[in-house]
Amino acid sequence: MSELRKKTPPKRRFRRRTVRVLVDYQTEGEVHCEYATTLGAGGMFIETESPLPSGQQLKVRFRLPDEGGVHEIEARVVWCQRSEQGTLSRAPGMGIEFTDAVATSALARALERG
Q: Is the residue at 99 inside a domain?
A: yes
> What is the mean pLDDT, run by run of 10 residues, along the chain of 114 residues?
46 67 91 95 94 95 87 96 68 94 92 80
Ramachandran quadrant class, 107 (left: phi over 0; alpha: psi -120 to 50; beta: rest): alpha
Question: What CATH number does the domain containing 49 carry?
Answer: 2.40.10.220
CB-based burial label for 77 (10 Å; 0-12, 13-18, 19+): buried
In a domain? residue 27: yes
Containing H/E element for 64? Answer: none
User: What pLDDT score was predicted for residue 69?
Assistant: 86
CB atoms within 10 A of CB 52: 20
Asked if residues 35 and 46 have their Cβ atoms less than 8 Å apart, the reply is yes
In a domain, residue 26? The reply is yes
Domain span at residue 93 reads 16-113
What's the structural domain count of the chain?
1
